[in-house]
Amino acid sequence: MNFIGNIIWLIFGGFISFIQYMLAGFLLCLTVIGIPFGLQCFKIALFILLPFGREIRNMPSSAGCFSAILNIIWALSAGIGIALTHLFFGVILCLTIIGIPFAVQHFKLVSLAFTPFGKEVY
């Protein structure tokens, strides 16, 4: 069932989101300061590509100022644009009955686009 969900996910905006995360990752890796953010983009992009059957959890040791500072910088540099893309796809998919489960997935990814640091993919 996860395989079918992932295939349908790619059609309903998952592939475009994957490309967007990869482009943001490449652009951020062009600078030395942006490398941690670019690597985070690549990690999230692989999750976005096949999200069904996997989940994101908060790391217990991530509650700190460093994670919060990185999340603020992330939101200002790339997070807002990517979050708006997830929000757009979520609203569009809510217009159809079949697309509602995928819209819910996009709405969950909006929060991940703002605070990716301090999370792990399982």
Q: Which tens digit of pLDDT belongs to each residue from 2-53?
A: 888 889 888 877 898 899 889 989 998 999 988 988 988 898 898 888 887 7
| Alpha carbons 109 and 122: distance in angstroms, whole number | 15
pTM higher than the cut 0.95? no
Residue 24 has a pLDDT of 85
Q: Is 59 helix (H, G, I), strand (E, B) or coil?
A: coil
| Alpha carbons 49 and 115: distance in angstroms, whole number | 19
| Tokens (6 digits) for 74 | 């992330």
| Alpha carbons 33 and 101: distance in angstroms, whole number | 37
pLDDT digits 0-9 by tens, 48-72: 888 877 887 887 765 678 888 888 9
* All structural domains of the chain with their residue ranges: 2-121
